[in-house]
Amino acid sequence: METALTISGMALVTFLIRFGMIALLSRELPPLLARWLHYIPIAIFTALVIPGRLISNGTFESGPELWAGLAGLLVAWRSRQVLPVILAGMFAYWLLCAVHG
Amino acid sequence: MRSQNCAQRIEYFRSGLCATLPLAPGVIAFGLVYALGARQMGLSPVETLLMSLSVFAGAAQFSALQVWTTASAGVIILVTLIVNLRYLLMSASMAPYLQNRHWFDKALAAFTLSDESYALTMPRYTSGQGEFVYLTGANLGLYLQWAAASLVGALLGTSLPDLSVYRLDLIFPFAFLGLLVPQIQNRITLFVAVVAGALAFGGAMLIPGKGYILLAGLGASLGGVLLERMWKQP
């Protein structure tokens, strides 16, 4: 029962956070707000690119992740498609790990 | 005319669904790890699956499990809230494109919003090619992957092989990279990306959890508006 209530609470707050702004911003927006919202995706995408494990316990670890990321960046710049970036990045990572031992 | 319109909608739905396929190994691996963790924390298979179906937020579910046995229900819900705060920003930026939809559609889009579907869909919306059925297809694809992985993980438990050595979680940053780069089309968007990268990097060093996404999302987008204003002034 306790578990069911906790899960229900988690589901409720998650839905409210996701729905709140969509419900609130349901009319024509002021231009300045619209321009601000326009730049949010790029900012969020960039933040999502930085994987949590690249930085652990407050220290930056330059390992295979970083070099594979640079390989992915090059492929993204040339191909402008998602799948080649995933494939190149993952294979670069596995290759670097295999070489490093 | 009507049937042509219908065929096109099915095509958009299908392409939204298919766009999630490259992400599937990452989603499924993460879902299996979540379900194993949930079982180890004492959740039943049904509870493990129900959390995935009702919360549908991988990072938040994972964070809740970290404190599951040590914290009260209130603290667990608070952790969920904090980890999900970034969705305030994402849903706010998606809101203008959902304005003319029915309330049910808005609620459905909100319930199934995720980092991955946001990343797949927003480039289409911002370039004027956004389609609600595409968004729904992408959301459904990710929801099914997450639910299936949670179910399999909950049922099989520890008899699953350990996939962590393959680091399938790296699929996500690579996918976001592939979606980000074509978005950078002028000096302002480049500026926003560079500032966001710096803020995310600094934030990840200093703030625990996913707070760095919120910091970078807020800070860099505000910077972009300011720069745009400054350049427009004579």
Model confidence over B92-142: pLDDT tens digits?
A: 999 999 999 999 999 999 999 999 999 999 999 999 888 999 999 999 999
- List the single best residue of B169, B181, B215 to mutate versus A (max A Cβ within 10 A): B181
Q: Is A2 in Cβ contact with B73 (below 8 Å)? A: yes
Q: Is A6 in Cβ contact with B73 (below 8 Å)? A: yes
How many Å apart are CA A49 and CA B180, to the nearest integer?
A: 8
How many Å apart are CA B214 and CA B200, to the nearest integer?
A: 9
Token pair for residue A95?
């290759």
Q: How many Cβ contacts (< 8 angstroms) between chains A and B?
A: 262
Residue A100 contacts B, CB cutoff 8 Å: no
Q: Is B64 in Cβ contact with A48 (below 8 Å)? A: no
How many Å apart are CA B107 and CA B135, to the nearest integer?
A: 13
Q: Is B76 in Cβ contact with A18 (below 8 Å)? A: no
Position A29 confidence tier, pLDDT thresholds 50, 70, 90? confident
Q: Is B96 in Cβ contact with A37 (below 8 Å)? A: yes
Number of H helices, E strands in chain A: 4, 2
B143-169 pLDDT per residue, tens: 999 999 999 999 987 777 777 788 888
% chain A with pLDDT above 70 = 87
Distance from CA of B131 to the nearest CA of A (A): 16
> What residues of B are in contact with residue A94 (Cβ under 8 Å)?
166
How many Å apart are CA B232 and CA B160, to the nearest integer?
A: 58
- Give the pLDDT confidence score for residue B149 in this predicted structure: 96
> What residues of B are in contact with residue A34 (Cβ under 8 Å)?
96
Distance from CA of A31 to the nearest CA of B (A): 11
A63-98 pLDDT per residue, tens: 888 889 999 999 999 998 889 999 999 999 999 999
- Give the pLDDT confidence score for residue B1 in this predicted structure: 47
User: Between these two residues, A80 and A18, which has the higher pLDDT value?
Assistant: A18
pLDDT mean over B208-227: 90
Strands A55-56, A59-60: pairing kind? antiparallel
Lowest-confidence segment of A16-30, B158-172, B213-227 by average pLDDT: B158-172
- Give the pLDDT confidence score for residue B162 in this predicted structure: 77
Q: Is B219 in Cβ contact with A46 (below 8 Å)? A: no
Q: Is the pLDDT of residue A57 over 60?
A: no
Q: Is the pLDDT of residue B20 over 60?
A: yes
Q: Is B56 in Cβ contact with A40 (below 8 Å)? A: no
pTM for the whole structure:
0.86
Asked whether B80 and B71 are in contact (CB, 8 A), the reply is no
Nearest alpha carbon to residue B64 among B80, B50, B42, B51: B80
How many Å apart are CA B58 and CA B51, to the nearest integer?
A: 10
Q: Is B81 in Cβ contact with A45 (below 8 Å)? A: no
- Give the pLDDT confidence score for residue B218 in this predicted structure: 92
Asked whether B143 and A8 are in contact (CB, 8 A), the reply is no
- Give the pLDDT confidence score for residue A56 in this predicted structure: 55
User: Between these two residues, A72 and B71, which has the higher pLDDT value?
Assistant: A72
- Give the pLDDT confidence score for residue B88 in this predicted structure: 93
Q: Is the pLDDT of residue B4 over 70?
A: no
Residue A32 contacts B, CB cutoff 8 Å: yes
A58 to chain B: closest CA residue? B205
Position A59 confidence tier, pLDDT thresholds 50, 70, 90? low
